[in-house]
């Protein structure tokens, strides 16, 4: 017997795929070597990676001409899912949702698996990070934060999700560049962190714009700096890290990969299908709704592979610095 | 407000409430599938709907899903979802006694009442409750967790020492997985599936459902209802009015407690159910009757978990911070319709907010109506010969565990089945294990986070009034029975020179 949840998911996905196909007219039936594709998401249903996969899958299925089923396999920052993908044949019939967590998991030693075991397909978008304070709280600007940190060394409380995680690395890069001491407070779920920020128990939090846009708009939270090369049109007046002379930390991104060693023609077809899917209305609406289009993030297989190698080095440097302290 | 209710009652919206309730009941009753998964899976399907019907659909699915887990909990000791865990502890005794109808009836009625009480709070004091929720930081969560643990004695009245040992087993198991504060690996033995912690639902299914099947097989106890061939009949799902009247304070207390725990982003319906159950044992004049099938032990967690589920909507709608896992997924449902949950929604689209409130109220009534039919359908299973039932329960246990990841979840389920079997054979209570497993991570990571914030100054934690008050109550809970025991022992000694 097939897993029941998989069957349900399969049905719902095929319904969506069917709707998508009928909406976009005829499907271009390419000769993809699999009768169906499974997209394994290492995070729970409803999260950022899951919504990404579900908004993208119909478009990919449309181009490949075979159904694409999204399967959630949450656990251990998607290490469980990565293992599953690497245990399957390298035939392009299984897609893996990749985020910077694959790099940090590897560097911190949570897993023996490496990002080099994977063949990148495409980076779809960048989710810009910002440093936030409570609106109407004691910190009206980034300068206030730095001044407080200088007057009270080690007293500045900065929240982020996960320990020895992407967030902690980013926070370290930013405050390292600013040259001030701080205390990083790790959270398992961002909801508790947000409550602690609004409740006045944290001074600053790091979070991505897709997560906090609503709270910014509602006037609960104020962005202080944006961790990018330049100011964003969406948030005028919020200084960019580069403009402050800081090293810009890597951004959170989401993309797709397959097992390393997948035949080149399958990779090529997948890359094409993903690029096409990124232009579909379903995906574009998703990007727009979550403000994932503030910064150009789309990269093909080769550019993505290069980026992974570069960021791997950057994270490794920061983490070895953290461990040295 | 009135317009909101009217909007919820328009035909095209109402139809989706009914659909959501039905799907929620079905998903909730199946172990391994819960409202969170249901909302996430059906999200893409609702792209085509207008925002109000789509959101109504999800809200009703969510509210119904929280209740439905209790049906299998009472009948087969399978908690369909984690919130139903205390119901499984207490409720299954009723099935064994041939009184499944009573327990189910009380469960569904109290769920509906708990949900409705919380909905009233939703309509009236949402902003105030949201500000209360913001008062809770790491130190308060720590104190709340300790308060929960102080109830170990309450949930193991017959032998407190065995209760403490069982709770320690739970706490020990709760340390498995990535350390939330340092990111280090703990007790994973190279198995990545437990790196994120022991998967809770497979563990619970094993501990309660599967272990029960194995016990019956081992003891050749092949009747679900003990006491011979007495037929199980579930004539009416509605309990006698007098029973309900007797439970009025239990339901009221538990609903308020459930609502308060539910609004906290760091605690959920499961914690609410556990706390209200323990509170009820504390308040009871016959604490020793709990754990053996006392109706208050079903009414309390059921009122509390539904009140908590509704309460979780409060921080979501007023602050934009989800109060639970499912409400976090609900954010997605808002976003795809270009609505941002939070204080803005109240100002910009108050009609949607009030329609949602109305929808939640209606769903609670619908759950009551549909459950009558639903429970009748399930009752047929109880009459099946036990060998067939046993294989079905085990199959469902395996499938339900698989839904939570990979084959290793099934291994976890089986390991917990053995643990449950061993513990029950040695007359250790199972409820404290759950207590430790649920509260362990809250207590540990909250305390460590709180200490990080205060630079390891314990006194700074006690300076926070809510923390101090909660810890004081916990101390009282621990001290009073201990002192009472000492006095009894001293008097007994005086009488026997």
**pLDDT over 60 at B20, yes or no:** yes
State the best of B27, B37, B39, B44 to mutate against chain A, taking most chain A CBs within 10 Å. B44
The string of DSSP letters for B98-158 reads T-HHHHHHHHHHHHHHHHHHHHHHHHHHHHHHHHHHHT--HHHHHHHHHHHHTTHHHHTTT
Q: Can you give the pLDDT at residue A218?
A: 85
Average predicted confidence (pLDDT) for chain B: 85
**Encoded tokens for A39:** 């997209």
What number is the average pLDDT over the span A263-270?
Answer: 85
**Bigger pLDDT: B377 vs A120:** A120
**Is pLDDT above 90 for A111?**
no
- Residues A9 and A119 reside in one and the same domain: yes
* Higher-confidence position of A59 and A158: A158
Q: How far is CA B359 from CA B10, B62, B344, B355, B493, in A?
A: 11, 11, 20, 6, 62
Question: Do residues B80 and B370 make contact, with C-beta atoms less than 8 angstroms apart?
Answer: no
Inter-chain CB pairs, A–B, below 8 Å: 178
**Do A120 and A266 have their domain in common?**
yes
- Which residues, 6 or more positions from B324, have their beta carbon under 8 angstroms from its beta carbon? B262, B268, B269, B308, B309, B312
Asked if residue A99 and residue A58 are part of one domain, the reply reads yes
Is residue A125 within 8 A of residue A279, CB to CB? The reply is no
Check residue B131 and give its pLDDT: 87
Among A193, A221, A244, the domain-final residue is: A244
Q: What is the CB-side half-sphere exposure of residue A174 using CA atoms within 13 A?
A: 33
SS3 at position B394: helix
Q: Which of A157, A185, A290 sits opposite B335 (nearest CB)?
A: A290
Which DSSP string do the residues of A117-153 spell out, in sequence order? GEEEEEEEEEE-EEEEEETTSS-SSHHHHHHHHHHST
Residues of A in contact with B452 (CB under 8 A): 183, 185
Kindly list the residues from chain A whose CB atom is less than 8 angstroms away from the CB atom of residue B319: 194-195, 198, 215, 220
Is residue A78 located within the same domain as residue A40?
Answer: yes
User: Which of A46, A198, A213 comes nearest B40 by C-beta?
Assistant: A46
Interchain CB distance below 8 Å, A4 and B329: no
Integer CA distances (angstroms), B203 to B65, B176, B435, B438, in order: 20, 13, 13, 11
Helix axis angle for B296-311 and B269-283, nearest 10°, is 140
CB count, 10 Å around CB of B340? 20
User: Residues A65-82: pLDDT tens digits?
Assistant: 888 888 777 767 788 788
CB B28 within 8 A of CB B34: yes
CA distance A288 to chain B (A): 10
Q: Is the pLDDT of residue A155 over 90?
A: yes
Among residues A245, A151, A150, A250, which one has the least CA distance to residue A206?
A250
Rounded average pLDDT over A106-132: 86
Half-sphere exposure of A42 (CA within 13 A, CB side): 29
Does B229 score more than 60 pLDDT? Answer: no
The single-letter DSSP state of residue B205 is: I
Contacts of A180 (CB under 8 A, 6+ apart): A146, A149, A150, A153, A156
Mean pLDDT check: name the lowest of A235-249, B163-177, B400-414: B400-414
**Listed residue (B106, B91, B176, B144) closest to B431, CA to CA:** B91
Angle of the B138-149 helix axis to the B269-283 helix axis, nearest 10: 50
Average pLDDT score over residue span B132-142: 91
- CB-nearest partner of A3 from B266, B402, B449: B402
* DSSP label of A299: B
pLDDT at res. B51: 83
Q: Which of A48, A39, A42, A37 is nearest to A81 (CA)?
A: A42
Task: Work out the average pLDDT over B429-436.
Answer: 88
> Edge to edge, what strands does the sheet with A157-161 contain?
A183-187, A157-161, A204-208, A129-134, A221-226, A239-240
Tell if the CB–CB gap between B344 and A218 is shorter than 8 Å.
yes
Q: How many CB atoms lie within 10 A of CB A100?
A: 23
Rounded Cα gap, residues B64 and B71, in angstroms: 12
Query: With an 8 Å Cβ cutoff, are B192 and A195 in contact?
Result: no
Comparing C-alpha atoms, which of B78, B5, B12, B51 is closest to residue B394? B78
Measured in angstroms, the CA of A134 and the nearest CA of chain B are apart by 13
Nearest Cβ partner for B265 among A51, A192, A215: A192
What is the rounded CA–CA span in Å between residue B203 and residue B410? Answer: 9
Last residue within a domain, chosen from A216, A244, A272: A244
Across the interface, whether the CB atoms of A74 and B196 are under 8 A apart is answered yes
A118-A119-A123-A127 Cα dihedral, nearest 10 degrees? 10
How many folded domains does chain A comprise?
2
A159 with A60, same domain: the answer is: no
DSSP state of B289: G
Cα distance between residue A270 and residue A60, in whole Å: 8
> Are A231 and A267 members of one domain?
no
pLDDT digits (tens, 9 = 90+) for A271-281: 888 888 888 88
Token reading at B147 = 């308060």
Residue A98, CB half-sphere, CA atoms under 13 Å: how many?
30
Confidence of residue B414 (pLDDT cuts 50, 70, 90): very high
| A303–chain B nearest CA distance, Å | 30
Q: Is B177 left (phi over 0), alpha (psi -120 to 50) or beta?
A: left
Verify that A135 and A106 share a domain, yes or no: no
Q: pLDDT at residue B151 above 90?
A: no
User: 3-class DSSP state for residue B320?
Assistant: coil
Share of chain B above pLDDT 90, in %: 27
Region of residue B3 (phi > 0: left; psi between -120 and 50: alpha; otherwise: beta): alpha
B226/B208 Cα distance (integer angstroms): 18
Cβ neighbours for B234, distance < 8 A, ≥ 6 positions apart: B100, B101, B104, B375, B376, B379, B382
Same domain, A256 and A317: yes
Q: How does DSSP assign B18-57, residue by residue? A: HHHHHHHHHHHHSTT--HHHHHHHHTGGGGGS-HHHHHHH
Cα distance between residue B61 and residue B28, in whole Å? 9
Contact in structure between B266 and B321 (CB atoms under 8 Å):
no
CA distance B140 to chain A (A): 11
pLDDT tens profile A169-183: 999 999 999 999 999
Which tokens belong to B337?
């319709």
pLDDT per residue as tens digits for the range B46-64: 777 888 888 889 888 988 8
Assign 3-state DSSP to chain A and report helix, strand, coil percentages, each to 5.
Answer: 45, 20, 35
Report pLDDT digits (tens) over B1-19.
667 677 777 878 889 999 9
Mean pLDDT computed over B154-161: 73
Say if residues A42 and A73 touch (Cβ distance below 8 Å): yes
Residue B485 has pLDDT above 90, yes or no: no
> B306: which 2 tokens?
């539904």
CATH number of A148's domain:
3.40.190.10
Q: Are residues A111 and A256 in the same domain?
A: yes
Angle between helices B350-382 and B2-9 (to 10 degrees): 50
Choose the closest CB to A185 out of B321, B332, B452.
B452
- The answer to whether the beta carbons of residues B218 and B77 sit under 8 Å apart is no
Looking up residue A81, the CATH number of its domain turns out to be: 3.40.190.150
Give the whole-angstrom CA distance, residue B434 versus residue B144: 16
Mark whether A210 and A138 lie in a shared domain. Answer: yes
* Residues A200 and A258 reside in one and the same domain: no
A23 band by pLDDT with thresholds 50, 70 and 90? very low
Residue A20 has a pLDDT of: 45
pLDDT at B383 over 90: no
d(CA A62, CA B14): 35
Chain A nearest-CA distance from B32, in A, is 8
| Residue contact A16–B45, C-beta within 8 A | yes
Task: Give the separation between CA A40 and CA A57, rounded to whole angstroms.
Answer: 11
Least confident of A107-116, B275-284, B435-444: A107-116
Judgement on whether residues A192 and A268 belong to the same structural domain of the protein: no
B250 pLDDT exceeds 80? yes
Which of the residues A165, A218, A219, A323 would you substitute to probe the B interface, choosing the one with the greatest number of B C-beta atoms within 10 Å?
A218
Among B137-151, B226-240, B389-403, B430-444, the range scoring the smallest mean pLDDT is: B226-240
Q: Which residue has the higher pLDDT, B44 or A37?
A: A37
* Mean pLDDT over the full length of chain A: 83
What domain range is A305 assigned to?
4-127+251-324
Domain end, chosen from A229, A244, A259, is at: A244
Disruptive mutation site among B320, B337, B343 for chain A (greatest number of A CBs within 10 Å): B320
Report the alpha-carbon distance of residue B387 to residue A201 in Å, rounded.
Answer: 56
DSSP state of B415: H
B256 versus A20: the higher-pLDDT residue is B256
């Amino acid at each position: 017997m097939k897993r029941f949840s998989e069957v349900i998911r399969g049905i719902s996905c095929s319904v969506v795929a069917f709707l998508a196909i009928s909406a976009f007219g005829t499907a271009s039936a390419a000769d993809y070597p699999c009768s169906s594709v499974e997209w394994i998401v290492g995070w729970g249903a409803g999260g950022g990676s899951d919504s990404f996969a579900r908004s993208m899958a119909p478009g990919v299925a449309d181009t490949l001409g075979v159904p694409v089923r999204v399967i959630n396999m949450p656990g251990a920052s998607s290490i469980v899912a990565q293992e599953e993908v690497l245990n399957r044949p390298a035939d392009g019939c299984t897609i893996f949702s990749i985020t910077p967590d694959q790099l940090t998991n590897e560097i911190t030693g949570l897993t023996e698996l490496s990002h080099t075991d994977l063949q990148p397909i495409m980076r779809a978008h960048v989710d810009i990070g910002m440093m936030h304070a409570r609106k109407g709280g004691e910190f009206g600007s980034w300068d206030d934060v730095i001044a407080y940190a200088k007057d009270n060394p080690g007293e500045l409380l900065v929240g982020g999700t996960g320990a020895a995680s992407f967030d902690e690395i980013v926070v370290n890069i930013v405050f390292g560049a600013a040259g001030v001491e701080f205390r990083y407070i790790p959270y398992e779920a961002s909801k508790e962190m947000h409550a602690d920020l609004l409740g006045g128990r944290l001074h600053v939090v790091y979070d991505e714009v897709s997560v906090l846009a609503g709270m910014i708009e509602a006037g609960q939270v104020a962005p202080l700096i944006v961790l990018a090369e330049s100011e964003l049109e969406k948030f005028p007046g919020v200084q960019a890290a580069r403009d402050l002379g800081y090293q810009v930390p890597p951004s959170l991104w989401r993309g797709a990969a397959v097992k390393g060693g997948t035949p080149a023609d399958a990779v090529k077809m997948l890359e094409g299908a993903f690029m096409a899917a990124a232009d579909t209305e379903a995906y574009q609406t998703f990007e727009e709704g979550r403000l994932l289009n503030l910064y150009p993030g789309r990269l093909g297989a080769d550019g993505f592979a290069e980026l992974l190698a570069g960021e791997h080095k950057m994270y490794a440097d920061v983490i070895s610095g953290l461990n040295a302290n | 407000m009135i317009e909101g209710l009217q909007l919820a009652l328009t035909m095209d919206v109402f139809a989706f409430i009914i659909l959501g309730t039905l799907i929620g009941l079905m998903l909730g009753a199946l172990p391994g599938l819960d409202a969170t998964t249901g909302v996430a899976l059906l999200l893409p399907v609702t792209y085509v709907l207008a925002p109000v019907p789509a959101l109504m659909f999800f809200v009703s699915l969510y509210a119904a899903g929280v209740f439905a887990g209790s049906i299998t909990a009472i009948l087969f000791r399978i908690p369909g979802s984690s919130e139903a865990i205390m119901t499984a502890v207490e409720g299954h005794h009723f099935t064994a006694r041939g009184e499944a109808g009573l327990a189910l009836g009380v469960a569904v009625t109290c769920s509906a009442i708990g949900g409705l009480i919380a909905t009233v709070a939703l309509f009236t004091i949402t902003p105030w409750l949201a500000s209360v929720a913001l008062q809770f930081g790491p130190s308060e969560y720590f104190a709340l967790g300790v308060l929960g643990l102080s109830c170990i004695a309450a949930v193991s009245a017959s032998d407190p020492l065995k209760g403490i040992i069982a709770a320690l087993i739970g706490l020990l198991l709760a340390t498995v997985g990535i350390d939330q504060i340092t990111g280090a690996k703990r007790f994973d033995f190279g198995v990545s599936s437990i790196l994120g912690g022991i998967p809770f639902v497979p563990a619970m299914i094993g501990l309660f459902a599967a272990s029960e099947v194995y016990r019956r097989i081992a003891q050749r106890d092949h009747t679900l209802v003990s006491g011979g061939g007495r037929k199980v009949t579930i004539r009416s799902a509605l309990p006698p009015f007098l029973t309900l009247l007797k439970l009025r304070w239990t339901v009221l207390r538990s609903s308020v407690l459930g609502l308060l725990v539910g609004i906290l982003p760091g605690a959920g319906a499961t914690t609410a159910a556990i706390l209200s159950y323990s509170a009820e044992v504390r308040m009871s004049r016959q604490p020793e009757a709990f754990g053996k099938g006392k109706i208050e032990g079903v009414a309390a967690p059921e009122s509390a978990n539904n009140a908590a589920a509704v309460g979780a909507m409060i921080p979501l709608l007023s602050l934009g911070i989800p109060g639970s896992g499912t409400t976090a997924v609900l954010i997605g449902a808002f976003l795809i319709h270009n609505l941002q949950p939070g204080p803005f929604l109240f100002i910009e689209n108050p009609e949607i907010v009030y329609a949602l409130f109305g929808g939640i109220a209606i769903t609670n009534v619908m759950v009551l109506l549909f459950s009558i039919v639903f429970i009748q359908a399930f009752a047929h299973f109880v009459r099946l010969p036990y060998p067939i039932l046993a294989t079905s329960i085990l199959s469902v246990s395996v499938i339900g565990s698989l839904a939570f990841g990979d084959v290793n979840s099934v291994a976890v389920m089986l390991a917990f089945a053995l643990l449950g079997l061993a513990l029950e054979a040695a007359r250790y209570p199972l409820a404290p294990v759950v207590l430790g497993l649920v509260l362990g991570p809250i207590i540990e990571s909250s305390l460590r986070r709180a200490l990080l914030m205060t630079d390891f100054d314990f006194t700074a934690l006690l300076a926070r009034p809510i923390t101090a008050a909660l810890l004081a109550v916990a101390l009282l809970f621990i001290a009073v029975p201990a002192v009472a025991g000492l006095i009894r022992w001293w008097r007994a000694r005086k009488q026997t020179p």
